[in-house]
Amino acid sequence: MKAIHKIYGVLALLIFVLVGLIIGSLMSGKSTNHELQATEDVAQSHYPGIQIATEVEEKAHYHSAVHYPVFKDDKLNKTITAFVEEEKAHYLKEVADNEVLLTERGWQASFYLTFDIHPVEDELYSIVFSTESYVMGANGRQTSKVFMVDLGSENFVTADDIIRVNEETRDVLYTTLKNYFDTSTDYQDMFFDDLLQEWIESTDFSNLYLSRDAITFKFDKYEVTAGAAGSPEVAIPLNDAGPFLKEEWLKKLKVDEPTEKNLETDNVSAGEKEEDDQLISIDKKKVALTFDDGPHSENTLKALQLLAEYDMKATFFMLGSRIDFYPDLVKEVFNQGHEIGNHTWNHKQLTKISDAAIKEEINSVNQKLKDIIGESATVFRPPYGATNDHVESFLTVPSVLWTIDTLDWKTKNPDAILAEVKENLKPGAIILMHDIHATTIDALELVLPYLEEQGYTSVEVSKVLE
């Protein structure tokens, strides 16, 4: 009997601890911010054999947004995830070390780990990571890391594989890079020759990467320039890289042959875009459905199908880093008459980064959209809703927030999302959702018929602002 009582006692204690942990977890995760609290999403990218993993976390003292590629090969994934975990651990330690001061001052630290993909040839890609963290102070930490991946052989390619490293090639590279910085209007006043000499003498060139037509040398902040210059990149055309490329790579990259640029454009000008033929009668009530953080390979397509079924329009506030992966999907959204908004390239909090970084976050998206659909975004939404007069001064289009936060990122419950819409719906409402969640698309199947039943129609957000 005593043994049975002991067992019951242990079970009761375990249940008590488990309930406490669940309650503590729920309380610690409470946030007033509309963005993702602690989510993970993996989606197929535009590039064969590469998926995109996205992890977003929101806590009282910090938020983070992490994006990294996922491959079919476990060996490749192990190396990438080890790097990601190392960067996250570095940031979280810094947050923990400064938690008291962050609490006293009411500050929130931020961490962004993003990446760009540069196709080289066949199944060879350059993966360029950028890490930015801001814990204490305005400057923060900015670093980069390059992985070149050969999916065919399921191996990483290193700088040692590509370039001939000797005294002669270092001299050639020094002269080439120095000439670039000396003549660059962006960097010539912030360039330090002595730092470049030190870099040339000691570097292992691990942060160079290939693209279809260039070999690019990427520098960390402060490495060869003043901090205001950010993280410079110097791209040397492949046809000028002969002096330091190994012979096998000269042949592999066909350096002696003209390099073709296979850049697709729609050649669609703003004036050629088909006018919306849906005439909204004056007695119909207008609202704007808006979707952030996409496009998503599956969910965005499903959203388009549902919107077409109910003959309604929406505005998709897209991230440049995802636009780059899904150009055909961006075209489809545009061609179906929906509005495309700019949500920055890497979802950085604009109120915490430099002027140059703000410009890059905004302008790079517009340039990518021009390449794909022939025009830039017509509206803008700041990540986290974080903006001020200074940030707004960089914009040439309206900045749009929302009037109904569906909390789809938090509840992931279609009925709860519909309830938020019902409770707050009125003419001119701007409804915030995220098309990166499958549950949001399930909710859209409920929201659209409800809008129709209530005499509402969804239009582009710019039309609500008129």
Lookup: tokens for 206: 């691990």
Catalytic residue among 41, 116, 220, 292: 292
Angle separating helix axes 355-373 and 327-335, nearest 10 degrees:
70
Question: Which residues make beta-bridge pairs with 110?
Answer: 63, 134
Catalytic residue among 34, 296, 347, 434: 434
Q: How far apart are CA 225 and CA 448, in angstroms?
A: 53
Write the CA distances from 107 to 17, 44, 110, integer angstroms: 32, 36, 10
Task: Label residue 118 exposed, middle or buried (CB < 10 Å: 0-12, 13-18, 19+).
Answer: middle
| Cβ 32 vs Cβ 49: under 8 Å | no
292 in catalytic set: yes
Cis peptide, bond prior to residue 427, ω within 30 of zero: no
Task: Label residue 311 exposed, middle or buried (CB < 10 Å: 0-12, 13-18, 19+).
Answer: exposed
Burial 38-73 (b: 16+ CB within 10 A, else e): ebebebbbbbebbbbbbbbbbbebbbbbbbbbbbee
Report the alpha-carbon angle 356-93-34, nearest 5. 60
Q: How far apart are CA 296 and CA 323, in angstroms?
A: 9
Q: How far apart are CA 203 and CA 180, in angstroms?
A: 18
Task: Label residue 15 exposed, middle or buried (CB < 10 Å: 0-12, 13-18, 19+).
Answer: exposed
| Cβ 303 vs Cβ 291: under 8 Å | yes
442 in catalytic set: no
Active site residues: 292, 434
